[in-house]
Amino acid sequence: MRKNFFIIISFVVSLVVLFGFSSCKRKNAKAETIVFRLAEIHPQKYSTTRGDQRFADLVKERTNGRIQIKVFHSGQLGEEKSIIEQVQFGAIDFARVSVSPFCEFAPKLNVFLMPYIFRDEDHALKVLQGEIGDELLDSIEGSGFLGLGWFDSGARNFYNSKREIKRPEDLKGLRIRVQETKIMNQLISHFGATVIPMGFGEVYQGLQTNDIDGAENNFPSYESAGHYQLAGFYSIDEHFRIPEILIASSIVMDKLSVDDVKTIKQAALEAFVYQQVEWKKEEVRAEKIVREYGAVITKIDNKQEWIDSMKFIYEQQSEEMQQLIKRIQDVQ
Ligand code: GTR
């Protein structure tokens, strides 16, 4: 009887030990590989998506496969605004988004929504890769995000289905889709256009159903989303150069070691260098496609007139913003 009692006890103990060990092994196995999700609204072939993938590959390589990032492209995880919210509460780990919808969460970045803030592409890249770019990335911390790096997005231009836009007043009466951000709204409605905020993924349909007459974007977005087939008047006025940003969720990043975060940041910087080169090629390729399709591409004659017509936005900015603007303008 006593012997049987001991056999039962030792059986139970070994079961407990065995179970404990295997579950502990499972936990370790889980800690070994972490799989994160990165949200991207552009299709797989687009340069930002390829930049995201380069970032993911570098992280995987440098952590020996321990940290894996799966890129969900083509808006599989939703439109940018909702992606950003999900990153903030940790439901999505990483995202590549335009700075415009992100400004609401990181107000200093509104500086990139100042029209004609950059003289040209080189000026923009110098700022993003320099002290100011780093400072602005750091300014995001504390808002639920970690700013990892910038991607290039060139210049945004107006396009529509009705007529050529040569002067700011030609925008009058048009229904123009805008990104969901205050400054853009304010700026475009100033010219007598009706602004219609909507997600990027809805623009094609908006043009098709005539809910909107046009929008504004760079050549690659105009081309890859097929907008050129429905809104064939594209005017190169270059009113905005709004960068793209790679963000991570602080909730998620706080669980990683300092070394892992360092690896992730470094990978993002290298992905930026790669994407910049790809971006230049993509701009040329996209412009060629839309021209060949027969879109009417108008190079505006008097850029100064456009610059002057948008100056009022600068005057409305706070003292702190004015200083930041000046620092950016002073970068040579
Ligand atoms: C593109 C940008 C997208 C998105 C889009 C838009 O240039 O790459 O992330 O923000 O513009 O207009 O919504």
Is the minimum distance from the CB of 286 to ligand 1 under 6 angstroms? no
* The pLDDT of residue 31: 58
* The pLDDT of residue 151: 97
For residues 321 and 324, what is the distance between their CA atoms, to the nearest angstrom? Answer: 5
Ligand 1, atom 6, lies closest to the CA of: 200
Is the minimum distance from the CB of 160 to ligand 1 under 6 angstroms? no
* The pLDDT of residue 229: 98
Q: Ligand 1 pocket test: which of 153, 217, 239 has the largest number of ligand atoms within 8 Å of its C-beta?
A: 217
Q: pLDDT tens, position by position, for the chain (332 residues)?
A: 444 443 344 434 333 333 333 333 333 444 589 999 999 999 999 999 999 999 999 999 999 999 999 999 999 999 999 999 999 999 999 999 999 999 999 999 999 999 999 999 999 999 999 999 999 999 999 899 999 999 999 999 999 999 999 999 999 999 999 998 999 999 999 999 999 999 999 999 999 999 999 999 999 999 999 999 999 999 999 999 999 999 999 999 999 999 999 999 999 999 999 999 999 999 999 999 999 999 999 999 999 999 999 999 999 999 999 999 999 999 99
Distance 116 CA to ligand 1 centre (A): 18
Residues 6+ away with beta carbon under 8 Å from 108: 136, 139, 321, 324
* The pLDDT of residue 58: 98
* The pLDDT of residue 13: 35
Residues 6+ away with beta carbon under 8 Å from 44: 73, 74
Distance 305 CA to ligand 1 centre (A): 26
DSSP 211: S
What is the DSSP track for 43-112? -TTSHHHHHHHHHHHHHHHHTTTSEEEEEE-TTTT--HHHHHHHHHTTSS-EEEEEHHHHTTTSGGGGGG
pTM of the model: 0.90
Tally of residues, the chain: 332
Is the minimum distance from the CB of 244 to ligand 1 under 6 angstroms? yes
The three-state secondary structure class of 130 is coil
* The pLDDT of residue 148: 97
* The pLDDT of residue 27: 39
Is the minimum distance from the CB of 41 to ligand 1 under 6 angstroms? yes
DSSP 248: E
Is the minimum distance from the CB of 218 to ligand 1 under 6 angstroms? yes
Is the minimum distance from the CB of 49 to ligand 1 under 6 angstroms? no
Compute the C-alpha angle 138/141/142, nearest 5°: 150
Tell me the CA end-to-end span of the chain in Å, nearest whole number: 91
Is the minimum distance from the CB of 97 to ligand 1 under 6 angstroms? yes
* The pLDDT of residue 32: 80
Distance 60 CA to ligand 1 centre (A): 27
